[in-house]
Structure 1
Amino acid sequence: MKMRSKVMSDDKTVIDNLDDLASFLLAVENGGLGLEGVEGVGMATNNADGRHFVAVFDKNHKLLHARWVTDEVFEQGKEMVRHGVSKH
């Protein structure tokens, strides 16, 4: 659990462009983050401060991992998170 808070509080891990968001989503999909029981990914907003993040959930909707995202990535990356990374 401590890893989750560290990831969320470390501004160096902010995803600030769509390429990095795609890389993150592919890493989750391909098991590159070492997470077990991944069932879904979604965008969310922190109620305390309004910051946006991309979250990885298990089947019980428990947060497994999260990364802050910029406002721009939050708005422009919703479809990518919802439908997956497009293979060109």
Structure 2
Amino acid sequence: MINDQEEISSLAELEAFLLLVENGGLGLENVAGIALATHNSNGRPFVAVLDDKHQLLLGRWVTQDVFENGKELVRTGPKKTH
């Protein structure tokens, strides 16, 4: 399920989304990973929240800039603030 209404357009928004998922703020269950991907039919980039069977739980569109520059942020995870 990809939310067509919300597009992540900055690295700060991507980091906030990652923290929200990590902290359970979206109420998703069985989250096993997060990845940047492209939609098979239209090539549009998105961030995917995946379960332990690599099935899509939630997706949000991202801009091309976020897709290109957010890979390390997704790979290493957001910085935790205390």
TM-score by length of 1: 0.87
| Structure 2 segments unaligned to the other structure (5+ residues) | none
**SS across alignment from 1:73:** helix
Give CA deviations for 1:16-39 in whole Å, capped at 9, x if unaligned. 000100000000000001100000
Whose strand fraction is larger, Structure 1's or Structure 2's?
A: 2
Question: CA-atom RMSD, angstroms?
Answer: 1.2
TM normalised by structure 2 equals 0.93
Structure 1 gaps of 5+ residues are none
Count of residue pairs the alignment pairs up: 81
Q: Stretches of 4+ moved more than 2 A in 1?
A: none
CA distance in 1: counterparts of 2:36 and 2:80, whole angstroms? 21
2:53 maps to a residue whose letter is N
Q: Match for 1:34 among 14, 22, 27?
A: 27
Identity among equivalent pairs (%): 56
